[in-house]
Structure formats: C-alpha cells, structure tokens
Amino acid sequence: MKTKISHRFLLFMLLQIATGTVVYAQGVVINGVRWATCNVDKPGTFAANPEDSGMLYQWNSAVGWSSTDPLTSSDGRTQWDEISNGGDSWTSDNDPCPAGWRTPTKEEFESLLKAPQKSGNINGIKGWWFGKGENHIFMPIFKWHYRRTPSGEIVKLNSYSFGLYWSNSVVENNEEAFMLALTESSKILKMAESYRSHALRVRCVAVELFNE
C-alpha cells in the first residue's frame, strides 16, 4: 500500500514548520495512520523528545495539567474541575493537538496495537516501540500515571509504570472514554476505559492522510 499526504496538508505543514509552530510535523505512518512522534505538551505544541511525558489532559479539554506535582495548568489560571465534558467525541475547538493533528480514535489505537511492538527505553525512560524500520514511534510509560478527581491528585505507583493515552471515542454510558493502556508487561497492552474527568496523556494523529 502506497501512502501519501494531500497537497493541501503538505503545504499547510510546511508553513507551520517555517513559522516554528509545529514540532516533528511529519510523523510516521503505521498501518495507514500517521502518528506524531512525541506526546502533546502545552496546548498546540509537542514535547521536545519522544521520551518526554508532556502535559496531562481531561477528556475533551484543551487545558493541560502538569504531569508531576505541584498541580499547575497550562494557562496558569484554570482551576481543577471534576466535572467532565460532554459530547460524543473530542471537539476540534478543545483538541490540544497542534494544527494539522488531532486525538486518535479507538479504532486507530487498535490498529497501532496490531503493529510490531517491543519494550525498550530512551535515556532511562521505559516504554514501547510500535512499527518497524523507519516507521516507528516510542510511547513512554511512567510511575506517575494520571491525575484523578476530585482534587486532581497525581496517581503514582513506585513499583510499576503505566502509559495511559486518551482516544476521542466515548463509552456508551457517556461517562467514560476509551484510552490506550500500556504497562511494563506485554500482556497488558490494550484499550481500556477511564472517567473523562481524569487527566491522561495525548498522542496525536494527522488530520489528513490519504492511501492509495
């Protein structure tokens, strides 16, 4: 299968690169989906390195939260709110991904889980590699996992590392959304569910990708 990007998307991304507003704009294609190589940091930006945590986000929210204590928001003003956002998908207005990117669907994460995978680390940060050859990404996992309601406290286990990544797909009961759950064990790499009010990491996919 030959994969290409639309001319409109390519020109748009070149403009973003030229103005310095998108990092690692090209990404890599795995099973027909173009994945960013780093997590989202502050809204509209990628973390500098694949092993970096980036910020944590409540579902369908464009406000980032610090991945370690103390609890701080990306805008320095917003206070933690345990009320989860509604809707059937993550809206574009609330998407923290940089321009030209969006949060992935449950189905896109499931396609990533079908790709070749192996555990590893970068600079001592554990995680999982997905893909093969030049088309691969690193998804880091950490002992500090996510922030939870009602106070926004960080959930941390010193003995085990997790990587929890939001999808934009909701569970039928409309109180939870699907997430990709990664652990140190290859037996627990799967889609799971989380309350929308929790704050997890975000890994983006390209808005426009066309296959031939």
pLDDT tens for each residue of 55-73: 999 999 999 999 999 999 9
* Containing structural domain, residue 24: 3-211
pLDDT averaged over the chain? 86
Q: What value does the mean pLDDT take over residues 22-37? A: 81
pLDDT greater than 90 at residue 202? yes
For residue 14, what pLDDT band results from cuts at 50, 70 and 90? very low
Degrees (nearest 5) of the Cα angle 118, 123, 127? Answer: 30
Contact in structure between 78 and 190 (CB atoms under 8 Å)? no
> Domain tally for the chain?
1
Q: Which residues pair with 188 in a beta bridge?
A: none
Q: Are 170 and 157 in contact (CB under 8 A)?
A: no
**Angle at the Cα of 91 from the Cα atoms of 88 and 96, rounded to 5 degrees:** 130
Sorting pLDDT into bands at 50, 70 and 90, what band is 127?
very high
Residue 3, pLDDT > 60, answer no
Is pLDDT above 50 for 170? yes
d(CA 178, CA 166): 7
**DSSP symbol at 73:** B
Judged by average pLDDT, the poorest of 17-31, 59-73, 135-149, 192-206 is 17-31
Residue 197 pLDDT class (50, 70, 90 cuts): very high
User: Which residues lie closer than 8 Å to 76 by C-beta, 6 or more apart?
Assistant: none
Rounded to 5°, the CA angle 135-192-141 comes to 50
Is 50 exceeded by the pLDDT of residue 137?
yes
Structure tokens at 127: 């995680």
pLDDT, position 116: 96
**CB-based burial label for 46 (10 Å; 0-12, 13-18, 19+):** buried
